[in-house]
Structure 1
Amino acid sequence: MPIVRFDVLEGRSDSELKAMLDGAHRAVLSAFGVPERDRYQIVSEHKPSRLIIEDTGLGFQRSTKVVVVSVTSRPRSEAEKCQFYVDLCRELKVSANIEPGDVVISFTVNTDADWSFGGGQAQFLTGQL
């Protein structure tokens, strides 16, 4: 936890996707201090006509390597989120050659009652986690 979803244009190789996911996981570990095996990632690939990511007037020039990262998590501080933004962009540049201007990140926050990791239990509420 958190769950990290990646929306990308189709066409990346398995090794490119693995590099992207591994880099993103390092950013999660660094910014949020979660355990190593606390890894929940989902990739969705889209045809170019189905993923339109413009620049919100900030002057970003998007490439075919654009990635939209959606994070669903328990509450995190502003400092943790900002650190994640920096760490993720650095990791994606180093590991997958994705420019920081091609990275769009959004957080959705929920609470402990919104998580079950299996077995029909709310592990944050039961004290298992």
Structure 2
Amino acid sequence: MPFTRIALRGGKPAEYRKALTDSIQRSLVATFNVPKDDIFMLITEHDASNFVYDNQYLNVQRTDDLVMIQITVSNTRTLEQKKALYKRMVDELAESPGLRREDVLINLVEVLKENWSFGNGIAQYAV
């Protein structure tokens, strides 16, 4: 069950934001074996003073179209799956909504399975 946070500069249309979430979900389904209907995402839009980044860290040339994606998942994926996710996500986002590959920052946060509750105060994944 991924929980995804997407941060970007404000002003993009609803269609753009929908293309972001659709592309990210397709990537998770394809590489992390996430069920299609297992989707929990938040989008936050920021003005320039609240969207701070280095436009050339590690020699990656970023623009104000930068999208920061943080995905919290259970710690059950291999290194190969993670690399496949990063590549697939950049490919999907380049296609729709048309993001430059340099403008996609992905951060994966792994947690233990018992750190999830999907409702009713129950740790559904705890064994």
TM-score (norm 1): 0.92
Unaligned runs of 5+ in 1: none
Percent identical across equivalent pairs?
29
Is the Cα contact below 8 Å between 2:56 and 2:62 reproduced in 1? no
Unaligned runs of 5+ in 2: none
What is aligned with 1:37? 37
The alignment's C-alpha RMSD in Å is 1.3
Equivalenced residue count is 126
1:66-119 superposed Cα distances (whole Å, 9 cap, x missing partner): 101101110121111111100110010101111110011111111111001111
Is the Cα contact below 8 Å between 2:55 and 2:63 reproduced in 1? no
Q: Kindly indicate whether residue 28 of structure 2 is the aligned counterpart of residue 28 of structure 1.
A: yes
Which 4+ residue blocks in structure 1 deviate beyond 4 angstroms?
none
What is aligned with 2:98? 97
1:12-39 superposed Cα distances (whole Å, 9 cap, x missing partner): 1001100111011000101101111011
Compute the displacement of 1:58 (Å): 2.4
1:1-129 matches, within 5 Å, as: 1-55=1-55, 57-75=57-75, 76-125=77-126
TM-score (norm 2): 0.93
